[in-house]
Amino acid sequence: MFNPLKNSVLAATLAALFIPCAAPGAAEAGTFNVRDFGAKGDGATDDTAAFQQALDAAAKAGGGTVFAPRGNYFFAGHLNVPNAVTLRGIWESVPAHNGLRDAGLPKPTDDGTTFLVTEGAGREDGPAFITLNNNSTVKGVVICYPKQKPDDVPDAYPWAIAMRGKNPAVLAVELLNPFNGIDATKNERHLIRDVQGQPLRRGVLVDSIYDIGRIENVHFNPWWSLKPKLFKWQQENGEAFLIGRSDWQYMFNTFCFGYHVGYRFLKTATGVCNGNFLGLGADDCFTAVVVDDSAPMALLITNGEFVSFHGPDPTMVEVKSTNTGSVRFVNCAFWGPCNQIAKIAGRGTVGFSDCTFVQWDRNREGRAALQVSGGTVLVRGCEFREAKPQIELGEGVRRAVITDNVFAGPAKIANRSKAVAQIANNVGE
């Protein structure tokens, strides 16, 4: 028999159990779609004002996400991402568009969220295209400079992204072809993760960091253009990672190919760096690692892979005469037909432990793999895989410990230092 009361209770119960889903395309709470603010994404209309209005609306709401759906968004100006606001495209994982290089065209991508940047051509001192602030993020976008020529000397532009304030983040972003990539200075606890592309002059600059910054899974490769004129300029001028003052910087699984310098550690007006650098890679850089100066607490470089074979004097590591701190290479591999593995000067300490050295002295001029002219050097438990001179100690060396190494040929260690040098327990063939 039909019971109205019983059936009404059942209906209410079923309604509570089966809450309908939001309609397709409905906006999530706290999400602002740039299309709702007038952004066209047609690659021709200037979308700067529409994006900034959406960003400001999110800030006014107390924070949130500004979503840019699939499209080619043209910008004649720059953007400021306010506190607690995320600017997000469709990519959850960073894309790679190496097909553009094969086409030889500076065309934008058409398969995701692409920002076409034009402001500041011909100069570096203008505002960054995107400035991040406290707890703000840019994620899931491609940044492209459509007027950049893939077969000529590149035009200068300001930084693509500037990270300021506390906890700014760059996640899953492709820096397709900026002149300058990410300016990670004057902030605290920056996070740069899953970034790829071909910055032409500078990739990432870190400086004035007093609370730990993190850079993870960053990969710079000449996917956009390998045209001879542009690539030659990049190898003569480009610097992938520039690290100034940072109090315990963390870098993990980073790589660069085809730069003048892969990793450069600077002394700036605010100081020098100490930090933990795991899984660094530099391939076909004129010099893979350059240390102008470092902190006494040390640059700890572990599990690195460094290759140099082009340029006037291809070298994996150069420690300048200005260095006063400590640099340690542990379990690193060095190869490629270079002139020498390392040139070491200064008053600091440089150590190599459990490292592998291959293919130095490419022209057979009698160059040692490690050429030390000053400071303190520690070489322990390393393998020199060619029967060539291994180590040369100059007169300015203060201290040296060279022990427990394995040589492919007889020991060839030249010691002209006037200081105490412990050279023992090395095994040759």
pLDDT tens-place string over residues 40-77: 999 999 999 999 999 999 999 999 999 999 999 999 99
pLDDT tens-place string over residues 9-35: 444 433 433 333 333 333 566 899 999
Residue found under tokens 């032409």: 200
- In this prediction, residue 95 carries a pLDDT of 85
Structure tokens at 108: 């934008």
Please determine, for residue 2, whether its predicted confidence score (pLDDT) is greater than 90: no
Phi, psi (rounded to 5 degrees) for 425: 60, 30
Write out the DSSP string of 311-346: SSS-EEEEE-TT--SEEEEES-EEESS-SEEEEE-S
Please determine, for residue 285, whether its predicted confidence score (pLDDT) is greater than 80: yes
Phi, psi (rounded to 5 degrees) for 101: -65, -45
Distance between CA 95 and CA 97 in Å, rounded? 7
- In this prediction, residue 100 carries a pLDDT of 52
Distance between CA 421 and CA 380 in Å, rounded? 13
Per residue, the 3-state secondary structure of 52-116, as one string, reads: HHHHHHHHHCCCEEEECCCEEEEECCCEEECCCEEEECCCCCCCCCCHHHHHCCCCCCCCCEEEE
Q: Would you tell me how many other CB atoms lie within 10 Å of the CB of residue 187?
A: 24
Distance between CA 77 and CA 26 in Å, rounded? 30
Q: Are 314 and 339 in contact (CB under 8 A)?
A: yes
- In this prediction, residue 101 carries a pLDDT of 46
Distance between CA 239 and CA 243 in Å, rounded? 11
User: What are the residues whose beta carbons fall under 8 Å from the beta carbon of 68, sequence distance 6 or more?
Assistant: 34, 39, 41, 51, 87, 88, 89, 90, 113, 141
3-state helix, strand, coil in the chain (%, to 5): 10, 45, 45
Distance between CA 115 and CA 43 in Å, rounded? 9
Average pLDDT, the chain: 92
Please determine, for residue 270, whether its predicted confidence score (pLDDT) is greater than 80: yes
Structure tokens at 175: 């820096």
- In this prediction, residue 23 carries a pLDDT of 32
Distance between CA 323 and CA 296 in Å, rounded? 10
- In this prediction, residue 217 carries a pLDDT of 98
Q: What's the maximum distance between 2 C-alpha atoms anywhere in the chain?
A: 109
Lowest mean pLDDT among 1-5, 13-17, 81-85: 13-17
Q: Are 284 and 305 in contact (CB under 8 A)?
A: no
Greater pLDDT, 3 or 36: 36
What mean pLDDT do residues 100-104 have? 46
DSSP letter assigned to residue 426 = -
DSSP letter assigned to residue 19 = P
- In this prediction, residue 28 carries a pLDDT of 65
- In this prediction, residue 104 carries a pLDDT of 41
Lowest mean pLDDT among 23-27, 360-364, 417-421: 23-27
- In this prediction, residue 109 carries a pLDDT of 60
pLDDT tens-place string over residues 208-254: 999 999 999 999 999 999 999 999 999 999 999 999 999 999 999 99
Structure tokens at 131: 């400035």
- In this prediction, residue 110 carries a pLDDT of 67
Greater pLDDT, 429 or 364: 364
